[in-house]
C-alpha cells in the first residue's frame, strides 16, 4: 500500500477548471491583439515577426495545457518540442530567403 501512495504523490496534479478558463481568456486576448496589430499602421515594419511571436505564444499555451505536455515527463515533451524547433527554424529560414519579412520590398 505504501508503494501505491508514493506513486500517487509523485505524479503532478492536472490543471483545474479555473486554470483552463484563464488559459482560454489569455488565448482570446492574444487573438484580439493579433487582429488589432493588423490595423496599426505604425507597426507595419514589424508586423510579421510580431504575429509569429504571438502565434508561438498561443501554440505554447495550447500544447502545454490542452495537450497536457506540461504534465508529461521531459523525454516525451522533448520528442515533441525538438522537431518543432527544427521545423520552426526551417520555416523562418525559408521565409527569410524568399523575402517574406521584407515590408518595403527590395
Give the model's pLDDT for residue 8.
Answer: 45
Closest CA to 58 of 100, 98, 18, 30: 30
Q: pTM above the 0.75 mark?
A: no
pLDDT in tens, 21-33: 999 999 999 999 9
- Can you tell me the distance from the alpha carbon of 3 to that of 15, in angstroms, rounded to the nearest whole number? 25
Where do the domains of the chain lie? 14-98
- Can you tell me the distance from the alpha carbon of 88 to that of 90, in angstroms, rounded to the nearest whole number? 5
Amino acid at each position: 500500500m505504501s508503494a501505491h501512495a508514493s506513486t500517487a504523490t509523485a505524479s503532478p496534479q492536472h490543471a483545474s477548471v479555473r486554470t483552463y478558463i484563464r488559459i482560454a481568456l489569455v488565448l482570446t486576448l492574444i487573438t484580439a491583439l493579433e487582429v488589432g496589430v493588423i490595423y496599426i499602421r505604425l507597426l507595419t515594419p514589424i508586423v510579421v515577426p510580431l504575429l509569429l511571436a504571438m502565434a508561438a505564444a498561443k501554440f505554447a499555451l495550447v500544447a502545454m495545457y490542452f495537450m497536457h505536455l506540461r504534465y508529461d515527463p521531459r523525454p516525451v515533451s522533448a520528442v515533441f518540442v525538438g522537431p518543432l524547433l527544427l521545423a520552426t527554424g526551417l520555416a523562418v529560414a525559408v521565409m527569410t530567403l524568399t523575402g517574406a519579412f521584407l515590408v518595403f520590398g527590395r
